[in-house]
Amino acid sequence: MNFRFLALLLTLIAGPAFGDQPALTYDRINLAVSAGEEVDNDTLSATLFAQQEGKDPAELGKRVNSAIKQAVESAKQHAGIKVQTLDYQTTPIYRNNTLTAWRVRQSIRLESRDAALIAQLIGQLQSGLSIGSISYDVSPEQRQQLEARLISRAIQLFRERASLISQEMGHSHYRLVQMDINTGGVSPRPYPMRTMALKAESAPTLEAGTQRLEVHINGTIELKTE
């Protein structure tokens, strides 16, 4: 075999393998910083449901529909409360592998930034509905404002830490290679309630509390000498 042809063949075979190797990088450092703040929960959500059990699913459906309809109409009388109907379920009940009854259930979701108002409405609706859960969260408007402030604070912390590392490592400055900014916070904590109807007009005592919102920054810098 011609040696020149053999050398060319080996070059063509080895070339792509070496070409796929990533370029070597030096003096790159990964950094992680975070900024957080406690914020008052200003939005309250409650899930209530109507449930009936019996032999006739059609009749059960009428009762549930009537209870949910009345609850929606009551909620709509308050401009500060948002109301939404949720899942509707018709479930067979078996005992000893025999169909003995039916269960019909539907839920509604109430949401308001006025805790006193929604607590009063829940107390009124408890005559015909049961409470499934109550949870608290931060409104989108307040969350957006706070996250903007935390992002600015976190970026400043990142810059300060990057400058400090550059100086300690004997470099005059650094170059930002990559940065990821992640926002988040503690998820609203649900408060399960007893699934039996309580005394009408008995408004529950509600305390919204706070949660901590945080912004996390992960980035890579490359130390420079010029």
Residue 87's pLDDT is 92
Per-residue pLDDT of the chain (226 residues; tens, 9 = 90+): 554 544 444 444 455 555 555 566 678 999 999 999 999 999 999 999 999 999 999 999 999 999 999 999 999 999 999 999 999 999 999 999 999 999 999 999 999 999 889 999 999 999 899 999 999 999 999 999 999 999 999 999 999 999 999 999 999 899 999 999 998 755 444 444 444 334 445 667 777 788 999 999 999 999 987 6
Sequence letter at residue 107: S
Is domain 44-137+196-207 annotated with CATH 1.25.40? no
Task: For residue 35, give the nearest of 149, 138, 159, 179 by alpha carbon.
Answer: 149
Residues in the chain: 226
Residue 158's pLDDT is 97
Pairing outcome for strands 43-54 and 130-137:
antiparallel
Residue 10's pLDDT is 44
Residue 226's pLDDT is 66
Helix and strand totals (H; E) in the chain:
4, 8
The number of angstroms, rounded, from the C-alpha of 213 to the middle of its chain's C-alpha atoms is 12
Residue 206's pLDDT is 75
The Cα–Cα gap between 91 and 105 comes to: 8
Which residues make Cβ contacts (< 8 Å) with residue 159, sequence separation at least 6?
Answer: none
Residue 185's pLDDT is 55
Residue 224's pLDDT is 87
The Cα–Cα gap between 138 and 116 comes to: 17
pTM of the prediction? Answer: 0.68
Residue 109's pLDDT is 97
Q: Are 77 and 41 in contact (CB under 8 A)?
A: no
3-state secondary structure of 35: strand
215: which 2 tokens? Answer: 């912004």
| CA-based end-to-end distance of the chain | 53
